[in-house]
Amino acid sequence: MSAPHCTTCPYCGVGCGVAVTTQGDGISVSGDATHPANGGRLCVKGSALAETLDLQGRLLQPQVDGHQVDWPQALETVARRFAQIIAQHGPQAVAFYASGQLLTEDYYVANKLMKGFIGAANIDTNSRLCMASAVVGYKRAFGGDAVPCSYQDVELTDVAILCGSNAAWAHPILYQRLMRARQQRPAMKVVVIDPRATASCDDADLHLALRPGSDAALFNGALHWLAQQGLLDETFLQRHTEGASAALQAAQAWTPQRVAQYCQLPLAQVTAFFHLLAEAKNWLTLYSMGVNQSSSGADKCNAIINLHLAGGRIGRAGCGPFSLTGQPNAMGGREVGGLANQLAAHMGFGEEEVDRVRRFWQAPNIARRPGLNAVDLFRAVADGTVKAVWIMGTNPVVSLPDADRVRQALKECPLVVVSEVMADTDTAALAHIRLPALAWGEKEGSVTNSERCISRQRAFLPPPGEARADWWILSQVAQRMGYGAAFDYRHPAEIFSEHAALSGFENQGTRAFDISGLAGLDRQAWRQMTPLQWPVNAQYPTGCQRLFADGRFFHPDGKARLLPIAPRLPQHAPTLRYPLVLNTGRIRDQWHTMTRTGKTARLMRHISEPFCALHPQDAAALDIADGELTRLATRHGWMIARAQLTTDQRRGSVFVPMHWNDRFTAQGRVDSLIPPVVDALSGQPESKHAPVRVSRW
């Protein structure tokens, strides 16, 4: 038996450490007891990882126009066709669409190629669908995209508020950590704010099943009520913040009575929540897609942050506004500039920052303005503005809103390149060029989890067939496009070191992301790197558990900002024709579009087909019985799902899981029903709220 390889789980943003043991042909996985995220525990998905490692369905050879080719031919073709389109139509005619599944080193090279050398910022990522609103919230409040908290805060808080988060299913190990802490400290309270009664409510002290999309009013109400009781932290506000008066003025209309009416909650529940806040020393708000996936997602995030700033519940143990990311490396993507509105190392498109990155990269064609975010990017493919798109490690034909339109756009796009692990995804089926990528267990790099902890993903399997690392594929194409020396990488450690150096380049402590202490790591040191939370620099040589302990933020004056928040309901209200509200989300045992978790029988046993959760009274009005097939339709598309009647649903709303796709079931892609409505500030789609009609199939 070999010594265990320590790596990280490829699924959710908790980022658990995984110990992999190989013996002969057998591979087993267990939790890595040394990893700070999970201390040896794995959830059901993580513990089934060894069952997903077979090569069935894998893409193992490059393909161009349906023919298998060797790597030189594939790389030449990608470089030539991209260069032709750029020469004819300019750099804005091409785009990359990446993924929170990519490792930081892959992401870094993709971003550098597009923004520094091709000269457009048209690289966005499926992380746009998961946490773009949280990024805007943090940047507006703190002056930087900086998650203040640590997982340890879950154990130290007095009130844990899960808002728009079914952590019990979507972030299971973190939720279990919370539950264990609560057993040890029974005085700790757990509040769940969610229109649905999810598994996370099972042990909650208070569940606020509010009207979908009304969260900001609840947090405004809490801010106003605490102010009225004289329970704000006036010293903190005065010393460390700006904007409190305007935020309080915007909140003052939100009396408990008005909050109860607007959020459609019993007044007693609203006041019970406010009293819990008043009585507790520490509060921690854990928020996720239910907050972010909204046409006012950024404002909801700032309503949460306002409350923490005004209460002085930030920068100390057990406190803070804590955005939980969905993917294993959503945070790494943020760090390297994987979002179209960021440059690299958390820098934006201000003239000085653009010039700084240009000089560091010695980039000939630096992008000077933000590019297209995910929804706009595929709109631009549809209208022919973007004529070449390279999609890496993601399946937008299943996961983007208005997914049928995305499929049609890709069908008509002159050049679609897909880097993929699997041969037959709904998106790969539309590619002119398919490039076989390495999967988890085969690739080497780093990821950052929700608490800013950078961990290594390590290979323990040889590359199968002709599959190659994404950073290598991108570098080879870049070299063939004439950008040679800047992409002459031989090993991912060189890329990580460059990324770390850029984070510290001319950084006077004004940028949140700084891992300059890791610049210059050689291969050996990078191989052995143990998990640590950024920043890692001269001030924090071994990382930093909790940000803002000194009350200094990243705005130039060192102060945080409270913002006046005017709550808004979702953009499209139900109508006579589409009278219910469709909400989408994860289930416990599946991951994204099921390319990996769909392989294991024991994970499929939990829930084996798409379902539509309905309140029994809504079902009765529609003459739908439990277990019957239903047809769900919106203005954008339709699907079939089996009715599941449950009082866990609010009346008037239905829930459908996001995972199913054409590989598993006919007419089962829920995102084909979701309108392409986005938050104007974050570009994040409103995937939690689509007016829908449900009928018997």
Q: Residues in the site for ligand SF4, rule: CB under 6 A?
A: 9, 11-12, 14-16, 38, 42-43, 45-46, 171-173
User: 135 vs 170, which CB is nearer to ligand SF4?
Assistant: 170
Q: Where are the alpha helices (DSSP H) in 533-659?
A: 601-606, 616-621
Cβ-based neighbours of 186, under 8 Å, separated by 6 or more: none
- Shortest approach of ligand SF4 to residue 398 CB, angstroms? 19
User: 173 vs 305, which CB is nearer to ligand SF4?
Assistant: 173
Compute the Cα dihedral for 123, 689, 294, 607 and give only its sign: negative
Q: Are 27 and 50 in contact (CB under 8 A)?
A: yes
> How many other β-carbons are positioned within 10 Å of the β-carbon of residue 557?
10
- Shortest approach of ligand SF4 to residue 442 CB, angstroms? 18
Q: On the CB side of 179, how many CA atoms lie within 13 Å of its CA?
A: 14
User: 59 vs 168, which CB is nearer to ligand SF4?
Assistant: 168
Pairing of strands 5-8, 17-23: antiparallel
Rounded to an integer, what distance in angstroms lies between the CA atom of residue 547 and that of residue 317?
10
- Shortest approach of ligand SF4 to residue 171 CB, angstroms? 6
Q: Reduced to 3 states, what is the DSSP secondary structure of residue 256?
A: helix
Q: Give the number of residues written for the chain.
A: 697
Question: Where is 267: in which H helix or E strand?
Answer: helix 267-279
Name the DSSP class of 3. P
> How many other β-carbons are positioned within 10 Å of the β-carbon of residue 418?
26
User: 35 vs 432, which CB is nearer to ligand SF4?
Assistant: 35
User: 46 vs 290, which CB is nearer to ligand SF4?
Assistant: 46
- Shortest approach of ligand SF4 to residue 175 CB, angstroms? 8
Rounded to an integer, what distance in angstroms lies between the CA atom of residue 287 and that of residue 27?
35
- Shortest approach of ligand SF4 to residue 453 CB, angstroms? 12
| Nearest C-alpha neighbor of 361 from the set 493, 505, 491 | 505
- Shortest approach of ligand SF4 to residue 10 CB, angstroms? 8
User: 171 vs 334, which CB is nearer to ligand SF4?
Assistant: 171
Q: Are 207 and 256 in contact (CB under 8 A)?
A: no
- Shortest approach of ligand SF4 to residue 559 CB, angstroms? 35
Q: Are 170 and 12 in contact (CB under 8 A)?
A: yes
User: 103 vs 624, which CB is nearer to ligand SF4?
Assistant: 103
Pairing of strands 63-64, 433-436: antiparallel
Rounded to an integer, what distance in angstroms lies between the CA atom of residue 555 and that of residue 152?
26
User: 316 vs 599, which CB is nearer to ligand SF4?
Assistant: 599
Q: Are 304 and 291 in contact (CB under 8 A)?
A: yes
Q: On the CB side of 96, how many CA atoms lie within 13 Å of its CA?
A: 30
Cβ-based neighbours of 332, under 8 Å, separated by 6 or more: 100, 102, 103, 104, 107, 338, 446, 447, 448, 454
Q: Reduced to 3 states, what is the DSSP secondary structure of residue 196?
A: coil
Backbone angles phi, psi at 615, to 5 degrees: -70, 140
- Shortest approach of ligand SF4 to residue 16 CB, angstroms? 3
User: 37 vs 409, which CB is nearer to ligand SF4?
Assistant: 37
User: 326 vs 567, which CB is nearer to ligand SF4?
Assistant: 326
Q: Which residue is nearest to ligand SF4 (CB)?
A: 46
Rounded to an integer, what distance in angstroms lies between the CA atom of residue 131 and that of residue 126?
9
- Shortest approach of ligand SF4 to residue 11 CB, angstroms? 3
- Shortest approach of ligand SF4 to residue 328 CB, angstroms? 7
Tokens of 203: 């042990």
- Shortest approach of ligand SF4 to residue 41 CB, angstroms? 8
- Shortest approach of ligand SF4 to residue 53 CB, angstroms? 15
User: 14 vs 403, which CB is nearer to ligand SF4?
Assistant: 14
User: 292 vs 306, which CB is nearer to ligand SF4?
Assistant: 292
Q: Are 498 and 104 in contact (CB under 8 A)?
A: no
